Amino acid sequence: MSTPFKLELAHRPRRLRRTASLRALTEETVLRPQDLIAPLFVIDGPGGPEAVPSMPGVFRLNLADLAKECRALHELGVPAVALFPSIDPKLKDPDGTVALREDALVLRAVRAVKEAVPGMTVMTDIALDPYTTHGHDGVLTPDGGDVDNDRTVGILCQMAVLHARAGVDLVAPSDMMDGRIGAIRAALDEADFQGTGIMAYSAKFASAYYGPFRDAVGSAKAAGTHGISKATYQLNPANRREALIEIALDEQEGADILMVKPAGPYLDIIREVRNATNKPVAAYQVSGEYAQIQAAAKLGWLELERCRRESLLAIKRAGADMILTYFAKEMAVELGR
């Protein structure tokens, strides 16, 4: 009978993995409900929740159901929601003029949430894609070949002031126009909304993962734009250094929180941003990331609960302080068990 083989090792990392309690003691990244922001889609009228087919478990909510959902999220410890309107296509035009109406759906939604859950942090998207017939984030140049940067920024400044007046805590410009953070900050300050913060979509990439979101807000249906290219203003997925330039510019212009979007395919960018700034860093686990996990789980190829948790842990481990995710409610329930 041979003698058992023994290694002479001073370091055995497995010692600290031996029991569940040891693993808990040495866990480096902790995910909490307080780290999560729930993106919510809003519709007008009395209709019940509308399912988003490409995002199982996600619904467009009327104002009453929105208030109810925000109460539930708040009770679970989720501190913030991001609101996205899905408006009647008949209200859309090339310039997205309905975005500047005093009775705009998103403004009524902000007021409804603040009335129902005063302690909930509310943020709103500042971009024109939900409101335009062409589905772009801004107004087009006279020849229709590109988005007009400066004219768009002027409209976004007006939007931001309207949203601040409705009571939003953070405006979140997702448009990726040059100079819009500084211009919005100046507009908010001039309107005496110095306390309204800016969560900047600073490193937003021209990603293929946005399709289900465009379905949810209806911009995919505008002029058949499901495959719309936003490459002239969103970042090239191949570029790391360019993302850091955008981050630095937004920080200089007064952004309070810097965001990377998408999250999962861009963990390296999240880490780069975390190393480059002392500002809070957000990451958006986008609709396509959510949909692919749901689809694989439905087919029995992945375990839903383990994969959603691991995906969010990876984003936080990369350096995100907060995560926008469609898994927010389910994760808050799981983490509270």
The predicted pLDDT at position 3 comes to: 77
Q: Nearest 5°: CA angle at 17, between 269 and 313?
A: 25
The predicted pLDDT at position 143 comes to: 94
Mean pLDDT, the chain, integer: 95
Confidence category of residue 226, pLDDT binned at 50, 70, 90: low
Each residue's pLDDT tens digit, 191-223: 999 999 999 999 999 999 999 998 899 875 544
C-alpha span between 98 and 8 (Å, rounded) = 73
C-alpha span between 288 and 54 (Å, rounded) = 9
Residue partners of 21: CB distance under 8 A and separation at least 6: none
Q: Which domain holds residue 134?
A: 30-335
* 20 located within any domain: no
C-alpha span between 216 and 239 (Å, rounded) = 28
* 224 located within any domain: yes
* 21 located within any domain: no
Contact 130, 98 (CB under 8 A): no
Each residue's pLDDT tens digit, 21-77: 999 999 999 999 999 999 999 999 988 899 999 999 999 999 999 999 999 999 999
* 22 located within any domain: no
The predicted pLDDT at position 221 comes to: 53
Q: What is the percent of the chain with per-residue pLDDT over 70, rounded to a whole number?
A: 97
* 211 located within any domain: yes
* 218 located within any domain: yes
* 10 located within any domain: no
* 13 located within any domain: no
Q: Is the pLDDT of residue 336 over 80?
A: yes
> Does the predicted model carry a pTM greater than 0.85?
yes
Active site positions, annotated: 204, 261
Residue 201 sits in a domain of what CATH number?
3.20.20.70
Total domains in the chain come to 1
The predicted pLDDT at position 164 comes to: 98
